Amino acid sequence: RGFRQTRLKRAMENRLTAGAVERILNNQQVEKPVLQVLNFKPISSNTADRYRLLLSDGVQCHTYAMLGTQLNGMITNNEIDKFAVVQLDKYMCNVVSPDKKVLIVLDLTVIAKGSSVNCRLGNPVIPNSTGAPSAGSADVGANRPQFQQNGGHDQSSTAPSYGRAAYPASTSDVVVVPIASLTPYQNRWTIRARVTNKSNIRTWSNSKGEGKLFSLDLLDESGEIRATAFNAECDRLYDIVDVNKVYYISRAVIKNVKKGYSFSSIKNDFEMSFIPETTITPCDDITPNIPTLQFNFVPISRLQEISKDSVIDVIGICKLAADVQTVTRRNTNQELKKRDVSLVDRSGTEVSLTLWGDQAEKFDGSDNPVVAVKGARVSDFSGVSLSLISSSMLQINPDIPESHALLGWYCKEGALLQTHSLSTRSGGPMGGNANWKTLAQAKAENLGQGDKPDYYSVKACVSIIRKENCLYKACPSENCNKKVVDLQNGYYRCEKCARETTDFKWRLLVSANLTDFSDGQWVTCFGKEAEQLIGASAEDLGEMYSKSSKEDSRYEDILNEVPFKPFIFRLRTKMEVYNDESRLKTSVMSVAPVNCVEYTQKLLKDIAELRKLL
């Protein structure tokens, strides 16, 4: 065994690319150098763990190497361990400060496991900032350098593996630093980055004043960052930057991303703010090897594990595209165009993606294109669904490996695959994955008892409707439905809006017991759904209620007509805590009269599925 260990040690020493560290730090290109990992250390951050490496070529070592976060799994899975011998397939080296250079590893191959080598190879020493050995360097084996976190510079790459090695341009005097190395503690820096996304100018107005802003998503070989320009800088810079072009950018403020603030898939703990001293110059002298867009796709099957309102990247085949619908935004009464698109990937899982505005109207899903989205927001509406937001980027049939592989899978087998949908299509209670249940089944399966709400459809009728308190006087503001307090002086006060008015609007809040052949369930029904159930508007019912008397019983008559009429209900059920007491709350999401033809087709389909089990 000792003989084999000695032979392996000699073989691995011969494999190391001697002198590679010095050449790399002196901006010389080294094709796929073989180095040894003498040690590594995890560095915590808000977005993802990063790993700092101590690399050796047998002659010299480099104490400031960072592993791209896309390779983190190689450490957590123990593919890379102490003393492992690795080949750097793709990497970049950039100047962070005059005395510090960062080697960022974008892709590598493990030549030998550290557990097999089990020792330091060669006699490496620590180089100085220029890459030459220090005169008084101690032997690494005798006095191994200690890893120190320096001012937050420990930012690794989140970039995909493009190019082999990247260096500052020899044709320019500008010292370019990678985006991954930017921190709030640096004052003088220049990045060379591609603009992957540019928002429209947005305005705001509040008690503190008014203003405007726009944002850019910037990408280089090492990672990405979001930059924002406010007010005067918004006017100065908006017209000089274009999407997909590369620029030198310097003299901006780097600050921490506010927790819970960023609805963005940008993987960076920091963000950039442009100031009057900020300079943006087109990069015309060279053609840098910068990717056009960076994705970090989440498989559709994993979306159930993602928290609500998280922003993720997703790719899938358009299995079905619904017609464009017109909806009205509640707080502004603005009409919006929307379209729901069903995406499926190789996991055989389907999810609904909502497109808005021009993208909804122009989208063509007739040929089952590949749809890639950077920055889709996760929602728990109708199960699990996705929606585009203002910062989202949508690409149809992108020229990337994931797209080609997905299209090949769909043409070969995916089109015939029976898929499982995480979403309920909004095209009506009979459509999509409605998750049909009887009320007894819903209770037996403990729907609503988990961390997320459950949705299901049921054919049922109202057996009891609580007539008392099903109407209330609400705030007349467009974006407020809070109950008002009658001040008994002709005025009504809304505590939410903190204002008094002489007017109000009637709102419905109906508590009813639904019954099918198996069981019953108390539900709450609001707004338009309550109006559809009762068959009258809240304003009409309120007027009838105000005039109700022994002679005028229209209000009572309408409510008495509701029970024992069959409807198709879409229900949402979730365990909620009220006054330290847990209780199951079930709400009506949609209600529609039973379409006998569609419901009969549904029953026939169920019978056919049951026959397959016989």
Distances (CA, A) of 486 to 46, 504, 508: 49, 10, 18
Q: Which two tokens stand for residue 580?
A: 């330290």
Torsion over CA: 65, 70, 71, 77 (sign): positive
Q: What is the pLDDT of residues 395-421, one digit of tens each?
A: 899 888 899 999 889 888 887 777 787
* Run of H or E including 405: helix 401-412
Domain(s) of CATH 2.40.50.140: residues in the chain: 2-117, 179-282, 300-421, 439-609
Considering the segment(s) 179-282 as one domain, its CATH architecture is Beta Barrel (2.40)
DSSP bridge pairs for 570: 457, 590
Concatenate the DSSP letters of all residues of 89-158 into one string: EEEEEEEEETTEEEEEEEEEEEEE-HHHH-S--S--B-B-TTSSBPTTPPPTTTSPPPP---TT------
Determine the topology of domain 300-421 in CATH.
OB fold (Dihydrolipoamide Acetyltransferase, E2P) (2.40.50)
Check residue 288 and give its pLDDT: 59
pLDDT band per the 50, 70, 90 thresholds, residue 522:
very high
Among the ranges given (164-168, 187-191, 289-293), the one the predictor scored with the smallest mean pLDDT: 164-168
Q: Is 357 a residue whose pLDDT tops 90?
A: no
In angstroms, the CA 503 to CA 510 distance is 22
In angstroms, the CA 365 to CA 371 distance is 9
Q: Is 115 a residue whose pLDDT tops 80?
A: yes
Check residue 135 and give its pLDDT: 33
Q: What is the pLDDT of residues 15-47, one digit of tens each?
A: 899 998 888 888 888 899 999 998 888 875 544
Q: What are phi and psi of 128, to 5 degrees?
A: -85, -170
The matching CATH number, chosen from 2.60.40.10, 2.40.50.140, 3.30.360.10, 3.60.150.10, for 439-609 is 2.40.50.140
Q: Is 132 a residue whose pLDDT tops 50?
A: no
In angstroms, the CA 505 to CA 485 distance is 12
CATH number for the domain whose boundaries are 2-117: 2.40.50.140
| Number of other residues whose CB lies within 10 A of the CB of residue 473 | 16
Check residue 179 and give its pLDDT: 87
More confident residue, 270 or 92: 270
* Run of H or E including 319: strand 311-321
Concatenate the DSSP letters of all residues of 145-169 into one string: PPP---TT----------SS-----
DSSP 251: S
CA nearest 109: which of 23, 21, 5, 37? Answer: 37
Are 101 and 129 spatial neighbours (Cβ–Cβ below 8 Å)?
yes
Any idea which residue has 């510090």 for tokens?
Answer: 100
CB-based contacts of 171, cutoff 8 Å, min separation 6: 285, 286
The mean pLDDT value of the chain amounts to 80
Give the chain's end-to-end CA distance (angstroms, integer). Answer: 62
In angstroms, the CA 559 to CA 465 distance is 8
* Run of H or E including 349: strand 349-356
In angstroms, the CA 77 to CA 65 distance is 20
Q: Region 520-537: what's the mean pLDDT?
A: 89
Torsion over CA: 550, 551, 557, 558 (sign): negative
- Determine whether 578 is exposed, middle or buried from the number of CB atoms within 10 Å of its CB (0-12, 13-18, 19+): exposed
Residue 557 is which amino acid?
A: D
Residue 139 is which amino acid?
A: D
